């Protein structure tokens, strides 16, 4: 909140309002604001207020057009408040609205791609002590709103990626946003000869498909690495020749493979079909 320093009384009032009211969190916020005093309110000069969005400054700036030239405007009939520090006093009590703050806020939000609505922006301004005078001109106690900018609230988030660790079919990465519970992908990678058990996170701990993930960090990534265990039996083939009854000698060929931990030996046992031993 950057109301001009001379508005100490207003700031104190705002502080009291914040204590009495719940604080509303916005996706993006109003940034700098500028205001100027309401000076000598006599005279017959007409002041017309135009709120415009400036792409150069990425802010709403008040342009005041007068019927007659005034000294504070350099003896001209127009002045634009292009800085929150511009404090040229406006000697008027009943300005006329030329262009609304609502339209300017809509331009600011659209061009700056801010994640807030016009109503939310006006609510923030109201919480800062500004209000609609009743004719569309925004003011504070004893002065007028002349400048409004906005700031983006950087979202804290990080990437959750999956590593098949020798397998295939790792799920696609996900984005974890601060304060939200992420449901991990339900898919599992595959690896011939191995059984997938769970994910081992680079931050520590075991996670399971479709499980909840609540860790928060500012940027970067957390890697879920597949943990495998060798629970799959070896596959093999037995080929005997001759493959029918023979009184002579025969040859038996055994082939086996295991793509997990491998095989240290193969044991061939001969059973009698007559005795079963």
Q: Please tell me whether residues 68 and 195 are part of one structural domain.
A: no
- Look at residues 105, 147, 137 and name the one whose alpha carbon lies nearest to residue 122: 105
pLDDT at 13 over 70: no
Whether pTM > 0.85 for this model: the answer is: no
- Residue 140 forms part of a structural domain: yes
Q: Per residue in 211-267, pLDDT tens? A: 999 999 888 999 999 999 988 777 777 887 887 777 888 888 888 877 666 777 777
Q: Which domain holds residue 65?
A: 8-152
- Residue 249 forms part of a structural domain: no
Residue whose entry in the numeric block shows the structure tokens 């016009």: 118
- Residue 143 forms part of a structural domain: yes
- Residue 255 forms part of a structural domain: no
Q: Please tell me whether residues 122 and 47 are part of one structural domain.
A: yes
pLDDT at 61: 98
> The domain spanning residue 193 has which CATH number?
2.60.40.4270
- Say if residue 108 is exposed, middle or buried (CB neighbours under 10 Å; 0-12, 13-18, 19+): buried
Q: Please tell me whether residues 147 and 164 are part of one structural domain.
A: no
- Look at residues 234, 213, 223 and name the one whose alpha carbon lies nearest to residue 159: 223
Angle between helices 118-127 and 101-112 (to 10 degrees): 110
19 vs 220 pLDDT, higher one: 220
Three-state secondary-structure class, residue 77? strand
Q: Please tell me whether residues 51 and 144 are part of one structural domain.
A: yes
105 Cβ contact list (under 8 Å, min separation 6) = 60, 118, 121, 122, 148
Q: Please tell me whether residues 138 and 25 are part of one structural domain.
A: yes
- How many structural domains does the chain have? 2
How far CA 121 is from CA of 56, 145, 153, 173, 234, in Å, comes to: 20, 14, 14, 34, 67
Q: Please tell me whether residues 148 and 16 are part of one structural domain.
A: yes
Q: CA 130 to CA 123: how far, in whole Å?
A: 9
Q: Per residue in 134-165, pLDDT tens? A: 999 999 988 999 999 999 887 788 999 999 99
Q: Please tell me whether residues 92 and 215 are part of one structural domain.
A: no
Cβ-contact 131, 195 below 8 angstroms? no
Three-state secondary-structure class, residue 120? helix
Angle between helices 118-127 and 8-20 (to 10 degrees): 110
216 Cβ contact list (under 8 Å, min separation 6) = 156, 158, 176, 178, 179
Q: Please tell me whether residues 172 and 188 are part of one structural domain.
A: yes
Q: Per residue in 49-86, pLDDT tens? A: 999 999 999 999 999 999 999 999 999 999 999 999 99
- Say if residue 147 is exposed, middle or buried (CB neighbours under 10 Å; 0-12, 13-18, 19+): buried
Of the three residues 107, 122, 152, the one that is the final residue of a domain is 152
């Amino acid at each position: 909140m950057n109301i001009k320093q001379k508005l100490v009384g207003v700031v104190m009032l705002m502080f009291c309002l914040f204590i009495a009211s719940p604080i509303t969190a916005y996706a993006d916020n109003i940034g700098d604001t500028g205001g100027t005093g309401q000076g000598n309110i006599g005279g017959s000069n007409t002041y017309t207020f135009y709120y415009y969005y400036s792409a150069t400054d990425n802010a709403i700036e008040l342009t005041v057009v007068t019927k007659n030239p005034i000294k504070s405007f350099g003896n001209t009939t127009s002045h634009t408040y292009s800085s929150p520090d511009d404090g040229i006093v406006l000697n008027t009590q009943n300005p006329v609205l030329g262009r609304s703050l609502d339209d300017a806020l809509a331009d600011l939000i659209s061009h700056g791609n801010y994640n807030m609505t016009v109503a939310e922006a006006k609510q923030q301004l109201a919480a800062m002590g500004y209000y609609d005078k009743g004719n569309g001109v925004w003011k504070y106690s004893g002065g007028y709103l002349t400048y409004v900018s906005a700031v983006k609230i950087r979202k804290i988030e990080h990437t959750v990626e999956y590593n098949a660790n020798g397998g295939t079919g790792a799920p696609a990465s996900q984005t974890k946003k601060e304060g939200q519970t992420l449901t991990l992908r339900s898919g599992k990678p595959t690896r011939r000869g191995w059984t997938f058990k769970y994910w081992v996170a680079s931050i520590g701990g075991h996670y399971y498909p479709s499980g909840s993930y609540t860790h928060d960090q500012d940027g970067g990534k957390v890697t879920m690495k597949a943990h495998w265990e060798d629970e799959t039996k070896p596959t093999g083939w037995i080929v005997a020749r001759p493959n029918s009854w023979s009184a002579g000698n025969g040859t038996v060929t055994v082939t086996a493979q295991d793509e997990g931990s491998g095989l240290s030996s193969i044991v061939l046992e001969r059973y009698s079909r007559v005795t079963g031993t």
